[in-house]
Chain A
Amino acid sequence: MKVQYGKEFKSDEGSKTRKVVGLFMVAALAMSTGYYLIASPRQDDQDDNKDQSVHFGGGGGGYYNSSSSKTGEISEGVAPVRGGIGSSATGGAE
């Protein structure tokens, strides 16, 4: 990795280019000199206040009998089974 941030942009790039390249270079420079604290993904990316296991009411894939920790039949029970994957897709291969 060769990092020597500080050169001027050659052309008249606007703020988006400056922002992205600047962010990358500052972080890359800091990493190369060992003065970069990598943010913990858990703390940085997951908002602790967002409880994604919150059970919304209504539809869903059904309810799962939690008597078994691995498999079991879907029936009335305590833990919701969530679906919806693939519901918005029109094809994935490109």
Chain B
Amino acid sequence: MSYLKRREEIYKPLRAEGIFTWDWMYGEEYALASVYSISKEIKEELGYAAEQLGKLFADVVATIQKMDSQIFLEIGIPEEIIAAARIVTVPGIPTLIGRFDFAKTNKGWKMLEFNSDTPGGIVEAYYVNGRVCSYYGLQDPNCGMEAEISKAFQQIVERYATLGYDANKMVFSSLDWHSEDAGTTRYLLKCSQVNASFVPLQNLRLYKDKLCALIENQLLPIDILYRLHPLGVLSSEKDVDGFPTGAAVLKLVAEGKLAFVNPPSAIIAQTKALQALIWNLHELGEYFTQEQHEIIESYMIPTYFENPFLGKTPYVVKPILGREGGGIGLYTADGGVLTRDVCDDFSEQLVIYQQMVELENIKIETLQGMYEGYLLWGAFLLNGKASAINARVGGRITNDKSYFLPICIA
């Protein structure tokens, strides 16, 4: 059967269900009908690495939360977020649902970044991957993991209630016109099995000391907000007359009048400046236990605030709160541009310099024929535990145009 026919047989029913509707994005194929086979060991290795790094990040985040504002500013946390980011929601976890991105290198798995604030790829990993495997009669490495989403959300709602928050009215929110964001948010709402509803971001309103959902001309106060909306973006958003609505909402969070999922501390784990801090502490032999140093040495990449690589080895420059590959540049040892994403959104941000690692190069069938690209692995961390994994294949810089590549256990 042709690739086109198989692809339609897989994705047409998914589109019709309304759960995964973005198998095409920006007019191009996004979700592949090809499947990449992995061993059980790969799944276990990624899970182990994600869980260990999760604990490590949680440790550093918890320490930073207790420090004064200067360290927050130095690692690029906008001033409007700092007080909210100090809120300790669940000790020992850096976020509720996050995704570490890994490269498989000749020196083992290396973590490139931690998407702890607003990770995507959730529907693809937890739902679509299983459907593709099922179509081919293959084993889904993420089988049964949807149930973990429900547990995680219910636990964080209970946790907020235990902490004294009102936890009666929960809303899930994202841009409703963005198919991936809205689809991911609605999927999490369905999986969470909490009593909640979807409200588009543009229908959120601030009234006095409550965030409210504007529904049929009524303002309904919100206690807990799941937001697929980056804190860095929210912090700068204003009403049409210039009133800093985003900052005011974050103030409510800081005052305990509103709870966020992911928790606001996720921004500390999200900034790539944290990788530079951790790596430098590791190099100095400071702060961490021997076991933590070994985790850093095994899975992290040399990362700095200044560029020590020029003239020595190829390197990557990343804006600390960049997203979807935006603003990332890959350079040769002598500073020549290998490839660079030109994105003005992140041009004002502090950057970090990271030693470049080669991603696996694979060939895979697509609608355009055989495609040769670079493979990037994602390992979800859910409520502090290793969870689903996913794969994307694209250019040297993985971005929102990279393919979603279903995976199976060999």
Nearest-neighbor residue (CB-CB) of A17 within chain B: B305
Nearest-neighbor residue (CB-CB) of A89 within chain B: B233
Contact of A2 among B289, B304, B323, B400 (CB under 8 A): B289
Interchain CA distance A1-B289 in the complex, whole Å: 7
Interchain CA distance A55-B68 in the complex, whole Å: 30
Nearest Cβ on chain B to A60's Cβ, whole angstroms: 5
B74→A19 contact, CB < 8 A: yes
Nearest-neighbor residue (CB-CB) of A20 within chain B: B74
**A33 located at the interface, meaning its Cβ lies under 8 Å from any Cβ of chain B in the complex:** no
Interchain CA distance A25-B202 in the complex, whole Å: 42
Nearest-neighbor residue (CB-CB) of B284 within chain A: A7
Interchain CA distance A73-B220 in the complex, whole Å: 10
**B5 located at the interface, meaning its Cβ lies under 8 Å from any Cβ of chain A in the complex:** no
A-facing residues in B37-86 (Cβ within 8 Å): 59, 63-64, 66-71, 74-75, 79, 82-83, 86
User: Which residues of chain A come closer than 8 Å to B92, judged between CB atoms?
Assistant: none
User: Which residues of chain A come closer than 8 Å to B217, judged between CB atoms?
Assistant: 73-74
* Interface hit among B175-183, B354-362, B366-374: B175-183
Can you list, as one digit per residue, whether each of A13-44 has a CB less than 8 Å from chain B (1) or not (0)? Answer: 11011011101110110010000101101101
* Interface size range of chain A in the complex: 35 or more
B280→A17 contact, CB < 8 A: yes
Interchain CA distance A46-B253 in the complex, whole Å: 12
Can you list, as one digit per residue, whether each of A58-80 has a CB less than 8 Å from chain B (1) or not (0)? Answer: 11110010100011111000011
User: Which residues of chain B come closer than 8 Å to A10, judged between CB atoms?
Assistant: 283-284
Nearest Cβ on chain A to B42's Cβ, whole angstroms: 23
User: Which residues of chain A come closer than 8 Å to B115, judged between CB atoms?
Assistant: 94
User: Which residues of chain A come closer than 8 Å to B174, judged between CB atoms?
Assistant: 92-93
**A71/B83 contact (C-beta < 8 A), A13-B280, A52-B244 known:** no
**B329 located at the interface, meaning its Cβ lies under 8 Å from any Cβ of chain A in the complex:** no
Nearest Cβ on chain A to B292's Cβ, whole angstroms: 9
**B151 located at the interface, meaning its Cβ lies under 8 Å from any Cβ of chain A in the complex:** no
A86→B118 contact, CB < 8 A: no
**B246 located at the interface, meaning its Cβ lies under 8 Å from any Cβ of chain A in the complex:** yes
**B324 located at the interface, meaning its Cβ lies under 8 Å from any Cβ of chain A in the complex:** yes
A23→B180 contact, CB < 8 A: no
* Interface hit among B132-140, B189-197, B235-243, B331-339: B235-243
Please classify the interface of chain B as helix (H, G, I), strand (E, B), loop, or mixed, using the class held by over half of its residues: mixed
* Interface hit among B9-17, B104-112, B142-150, B203-211: B203-211
A13→B181 contact, CB < 8 A: no
Nearest-neighbor residue (CB-CB) of B115 within chain A: A94
**B269 located at the interface, meaning its Cβ lies under 8 Å from any Cβ of chain A in the complex:** no
User: Which residues of chain B come closer than 8 Å to A83, judged between CB atoms?
Assistant: 202, 204-206, 239-240, 245
Nearest Cβ on chain B to A7's Cβ, whole angstroms: 5
A23→B245 contact, CB < 8 A: no
Interchain CA distance A90-B230 in the complex, whole Å: 11
A92→B181 contact, CB < 8 A: yes
B254→A88 contact, CB < 8 A: no
User: Which residues of chain B come closer than 8 Å to A45, judged between CB atoms?
Assistant: 69, 79, 82-83, 86, 254
**B247 located at the interface, meaning its Cβ lies under 8 Å from any Cβ of chain A in the complex:** yes
User: Which residues of chain B come closer than 8 Å to A80, judged between CB atoms?
Assistant: 207, 243
Nearest Cβ on chain B to A92's Cβ, whole angstroms: 4
Nearest Cβ on chain A to B23's Cβ, whole angstroms: 15
Nearest Cβ on chain A to B299's Cβ, whole angstroms: 19
Nearest-neighbor residue (CB-CB) of A5 within chain B: B286
**B383 located at the interface, meaning its Cβ lies under 8 Å from any Cβ of chain A in the complex:** no
User: Which residues of chain B come closer than 8 Å to A9, judged between CB atoms?
Assistant: 280, 283-284
**A59/B236 contact (C-beta < 8 A), A28-B63, A71-B218, A91-B400 known:** no
**A49 located at the interface, meaning its Cβ lies under 8 Å from any Cβ of chain B in the complex:** no
**A82/B306 contact (C-beta < 8 A), A10-B283, A56-B243 known:** no
Nearest Cβ on chain B to A37's Cβ, whole angstroms: 9
Interchain CA distance A83-B237 in the complex, whole Å: 9
Please name 9 pairs of A and B residues whose Cβ atoms are closer than 8 Å in the assembled complex, sorted by A: A7-B286, A13-B304, A13-B306, A42-B83, A42-B255, A45-B82, A45-B86, A59-B241, A81-B206
Interface residues of B (CB under 8 A from A): 59, 63-64, 66-71, 74-75, 79, 82-83, 86, 115, 118-122, 174-175, 178, 180-181, 184, 200-202, 204-208, 212, 214, 217-221, 227-230, 233-234, 236-249, 251, 254-255, 273, 276-277, 280-281, 283-289, 304-306, 308, 323-324, 345, 400
